[in-house]
Amino acid sequence: MIADTLAAVIIAVATAYAALAGADFGGGIWDLLAGSAVRGEVPRRRIDQSITPVWESNHVWLIIAVVLLWTGFPTAFAAVFTTLFVPLSVAALGIVLRGTGFAFRPHARTLRWQATTGGVFATASLLTPFFMGTVVGSVVSGRVRGTNGDPVTSWANLTSLLTGGLFVAAGAYLAAVYLAVDSDRDRQPELRRYFTRRALVSGLVTGAMAGATMVQLRTSAPAVFIELTTGRGLALVVISVLAGLAVLVALTLDIVRPVRPLAVLAVAAVVWGWAISQYPYLLPPGLTIAAGAVPRAVQITELVVVGIIVILVAPSFVLLFRLAQSGRLAEAEGPRPGSGPPGGGPPGSDAAATRASRGQAPPRGRHRGQPRSSGRLWPIAVAAVVIAVWRLRRRGTGAR
Amino acid sequence: MPTGLASYAAQVVPARAQMGSSLGFHIILACMGIAFPAIVMIVHYLGLRRHDDAAMVLARRWSRVMAVLVAVGAVSGTVLSFDMGLLWPGLMGRFGSAIGIPFSFEGIFFLLEAVFTAIYLYGWDRLRPWTHFWTLAPVVVSGILGALSVVAANSWMNQPSGFTLSHGRITSVNPVAVFFNGATYYEVPHMLLAAYMVAGGITATPYAVGLLRGHRDRYTRLGFLVPFVVAAVATPFQIGVGDTAARAIASQQPVKFASMEYVPRTATHVPEWIGGVWFNGHAVAGISLPDVDSLLVGFSPDTKVTGWDTVPPALRPPFPTMIHLCFDFMVGIGTLMLLWGLWLALWWWRRRDLPGGCLGKVFLGGGALSGIATVLAMECGWVVTEVGRQPWVVYGVLLTSRAATTASGVIGTLAATVAIYLVLTVATFAILWVMKRHWDAAATRADVPVPYSPSAKPEVRS
């Protein structure tokens, strides 16, 4: 039971990573698709403003998930990282390139340099989620069976590639939704329409990819497919479809504000649908959660760590996103004579009047820098955990 | 798992090279991540408390530098966590449940650090000045606690404890004993102090160059003095901790100690070698101080020091020359840093000024080299601890060759890793160079920037 809880916690962390960092990768994809330097300037700036202050905090969830996995389920971790050496190496490469792009881009003052660092950032945003998706596809279709799996066909197969595509599409979809909401909040109607269109298209593509992956699972992972269509996972598939449809309807009617939690729900339900349909297997078809578990003291320690994270880190995240939403975070800048905005007053008093200066390149406009807030994700993540634990409890004993 | 020389060359050597280059690169950024926020906090405090514009400008500029270094450090740290699985599945699969415990605590502090760094970096002019200042405190604290966690994982590899093995599988774990193992108490303070010395040295370097070039303004002096004093204050403590650590290693990992000090045979009255190359069974071209090694280990020339002859050749670390010279270099730099700190303290006590006179340039020259010197000393320390533990990855429990991945393609990822780190290093310096040029241009436009208008009163003290 403790091992099950730990597995559920790892999935919850992975969901947070997908909902937060997945969208940051998606932002990179829209950056890649934004066209020429001139045409894409405005949306690219919007993407920059939304992602720059929060991407690093969002990224840390990946490290938490990796560390929890290697501590809580070390044999599975070793098997995954040996068999899937290639896609995981490429994903790590993408992470390095993307982070570097973020770090260096604000300082790349000439256009050519900005294009280079931006290109690196955008390409990396495509690589990392795709190859992480192939990893999940390989696990779910039972291709990781110990440390001597095939180094190529374990991930270069239809299920894995489809899952990779699904990850890319889902990230782009979440990003388009978040960016549309951000544009709406900052009263940028043209940008809102720009990203709403993209959210609609990518939402349809994501739905199609999810459907195709599911059909493919019918042959590559029949047990999971049965659970998804007639068993434990069915409710979550239904939730995902309904939430996805609700987003599409709302966006078509030009209602933007409430779509963010719905879009997150649609994506989170897919993650949990996968996890619950695969239960009780860690690495199907052989390794169960119970068999892959570590001594009890370690599991309890890991749950304590997660407890500390919930108590300490969650409020910090809420603070970060609150500050970001109220316009009190903007890129640091060297002091410039005469440009010092009022900072002595109470916080928020001049928030609306205070503009975020973006770098010091002259052509940059006077947009208010209001990075994305994702504070509302927490209730959804908590609800997902509750639903999952409830379902596992009900089914857990029978399934074993 | 295949064994033998061929697989050793094909798997273990590139895996160790990749781990070494990843760690060697990341550790510099980690030092900046641990200690640089504290240095920024000091100048920020000076700027707010004394309405010191020069200090405020430094705080602002350093926070921009911090933004770049923290981002690059976050990604190189992620690569390290991937490397643990990609390169050492034999370690993680068998001992992940033990070594993972300190790492998962590190996760807490990494998250806190990332969140509050973002709030600090993007909170300039947006938050109330003192509120903004205090958002850096959690970063400093979680830097220290994060370092504690990660170094505890490394010290567990040197002194594994807190687990029971049966048939090669861990059957029970005592998390507290894993975290606070026999090497935690000296490795953690040693690394923390090293981080403060490295961050202080690196930060002081460009301002020492500025002083050498004749920029004697308050901005340059403060930019040199604050970080250099941080490094200088850490140094005597570091020497004390290092001395304790060496004695502990002599009893806990005697073969590592024997390689550090050229002790081929267990004996009393062991000499201390300073420098020297191990060639043909003898130390060549070094200075030998009779009885000193025995004295250092047990405070008496009659102390018996264990030599590497106590284990078969296959269980001895390779390259004793490299281990010994790295150790000597580290100690030498520490000693020089101590001298430089005393030099500064003396002049400050007598004259309230930087060391001047005919040797003033020598002092500043040393200050300008303190960045590269402290970085090299720290890298040497890691070479001593990591190469000195070989052929074990978990001392006395798991051989490195049994931990390495069986996946092919490590040569490829090694090449990619080295290439990327080279590009990253060049790009980081390029960005810092661009920032510096920009600041120089800003300085000629207006000399008195307004850090926190209207609350701050511009007032330049000299």
The residue with tokens 């300490």 is A312
List, in order, residues 6 or more apart from A384 with CB less than 8 Å away.
A12, A15, A268, A269, A272
The verdict on a CB contact (< 8 Å) between B452 and A344 is yes
Interface of B with A in 174-233 (CB under 8 A): 174-175
B442 touching chain A per CB within 8 A: yes
pLDDT on residue A108: 65
A54 touching chain B per CB within 8 A: yes
The verdict on a CB contact (< 8 Å) between A80 and B126 is no
Of B89, B108, B128, the CB nearest to A347: B128
B81 touching chain A per CB within 8 A: yes
B10 touching chain A per CB within 8 A: no
* pLDDT(A358) > 60: no
A107 touching chain B per CB within 8 A: yes
Which residue of A lies nearest to B449 if distances are taken between CA atoms?
Answer: A337
Of A85, A95, A341, the CB nearest to B125: A341
Interface of A with B in 149-168 (CB under 8 A): 151
Gap between the Cα atoms of B425 and B139, Å rounded: 24
A301 touching chain B per CB within 8 A: yes
Gap between the Cα atoms of A61 and A11, Å rounded: 11
C-alpha distances in Å from residue A392, one per residue of A225, A230, A240: 18, 16, 19
Contacts of B174 in chain A (CB under 8 A): 297
A–B CB contacts, 8 A cutoff, strictly below: 290
Contacts of B60 in chain A (CB under 8 A): 332-335
Gap between the Cα atoms of A218 and A236, Å rounded: 17
Interface of B with A in 30-69 (CB under 8 A): 56-57, 60-61, 63-64, 67-68
Contacts of A325 in chain B (CB under 8 A): none
The residue with tokens 């980081």 is B428
> What's at B304, amino acid-wise?
K
Task: Tell which residue, B405, B395, B381, B456, has the closest CA to residue B51.
Answer: B456
- Taking the CA of residue A185 and the nearest CA in chain B, the distance in Å comes to 19
Residue A368 backbone dihedrals phi, psi, to 5 degrees: -75, 130
Given a contact cutoff of 8 angstroms between Cβ atoms, the answer to whether A102 and B71 are in contact is yes
- Test the B interface: residue of A13, A114, A298, A372 with most B CBs within 10 Å: A298
- Taking the CA of residue B101 and the nearest CA in chain A, the distance in Å comes to 7
- Test the A interface: residue of B40, B60, B97, B440 with most A CBs within 10 Å: B97
- Taking the CA of residue A329 and the nearest CA in chain B, the distance in Å comes to 5
The verdict on a CB contact (< 8 Å) between A313 and B446 is no
Of A81, A96, A340, the CB nearest to B450: A340
Contacts of A327 in chain B (CB under 8 A): 126
B376 touching chain A per CB within 8 A: no
**Of A349 and A148, which is predicted with more confidence?**
A148
Gap between the Cα atoms of A332 and A357, Å rounded: 8
Which residue of A lies nearest to B105 if distances are taken between CA atoms?
Answer: A305
Interface of B with A in 399-418 (CB under 8 A): 405-409, 413, 416
pLDDT above 70 covers a percentage of chain A that reads 78
C-alpha distances in Å from residue B333, one per residue of A351, B70, B402, B413: 50, 26, 36, 34
The verdict on a CB contact (< 8 Å) between B125 and A85 is no
User: Mean pLDDT in chain A?
Assistant: 78
The residue with tokens 């160790």 is B16
pLDDT on residue B418: 86
The verdict on a CB contact (< 8 Å) between A89 and B86 is yes
- Test the B interface: residue of A89, A138, A323 with most B CBs within 10 Å: A89
**Of B399 and A375, which is predicted with more confidence?**
B399
For the complex shown, is ipTM > 0.85?
Answer: no
- Taking the CA of residue B253 and the nearest CA in chain A, the distance in Å comes to 26
Of B60, B114, B439, the CB nearest to A332: B60
Gap between the Cα atoms of A366 and A157, Å rounded: 48
B429 touching chain A per CB within 8 A: no
Given a contact cutoff of 8 angstroms between Cβ atoms, the answer to whether B183 and B160 are in contact is no
Given a contact cutoff of 8 angstroms between Cβ atoms, the answer to whether A6 and A68 are in contact is yes
Of A74, A82, A335, the CB nearest to B57: A335
Given a contact cutoff of 8 angstroms between Cβ atoms, the answer to whether B218 and B387 are in contact is no
Which residue of A lies nearest to B104 if distances are taken between CA atoms?
Answer: A67
B439 touching chain A per CB within 8 A: yes
B389 touching chain A per CB within 8 A: no
A328 touching chain B per CB within 8 A: yes
Gap between the Cα atoms of B118 and A389, Å rounded: 33
Q: Sign of torsion, CA A230 A233 A239 A240?
A: negative
pLDDT on residue A331: 53
Mean pLDDT (whole number) for A322-342: 50
Contacts of B454 in chain A (CB under 8 A): 342, 344
* pLDDT(A252) > 50: yes
Interface of B with A in 94-153 (CB under 8 A): 94-98, 100-101, 103-108, 110-112, 114-119, 121-129, 131, 138
CA dihedral A294, A297, A303, A308 (to 10 degrees): -140
Gap between the Cα atoms of B316 and B15, Å rounded: 20
* pLDDT(A385) > 60: no
Contacts of A145 in chain B (CB under 8 A): none
* pLDDT(A111) > 90: no
Of A96, A107, A298, the CB nearest to B175: A298
pLDDT on residue A380: 58
CA dihedral A74, A80, A81, A83 (to 10 degrees): 140
Task: Tell which residue, B322, B314, B271, has the closest CA to residue B293.
Answer: B271
Gap between the Cα atoms of B416 and B413, Å rounded: 5
Given a contact cutoff of 8 angstroms between Cβ atoms, the answer to whether A376 and A261 are in contact is yes
Of A60, A86, A107, the CB nearest to B409: A86
List, in order, residues 6 or more apart from B430 with CB less than 8 Å away.
none
The verdict on a CB contact (< 8 Å) between B97 and A93 is no
CA dihedral B152, B155, B157, B159 (to 10 degrees): -120
- H or E element in which residue A29 lies: helix A2-32
Write the pLDDT tens digit of every residue in A179-232. Answer: 998 888 888 889 999 999 999 999 999 999 999 999 999 988 888 888 888 888
Write the pLDDT tens digit of every residue in B202-233. Answer: 999 999 999 988 888 888 999 999 999 999 99
At B171, list the tokens. 């059957």
Which residue of A lies nearest to B171 if distances are taken between CA atoms?
Answer: A295
Residues of chain B with pLDDT under 70: 1-9, 443-462
Given a contact cutoff of 8 angstroms between Cβ atoms, the answer to whether B229 and B344 are in contact is yes
Confidence of residue A325 (pLDDT cuts 50, 70, 90): low
Q: What is the CA radius of gyration of chain B?
A: 24
The verdict on a CB contact (< 8 Å) between B68 and A74 is no
- Taking the CA of residue A149 and the nearest CA in chain B, the distance in Å comes to 9
The residue with tokens 């800048």 is A333
A363 touching chain B per CB within 8 A: no
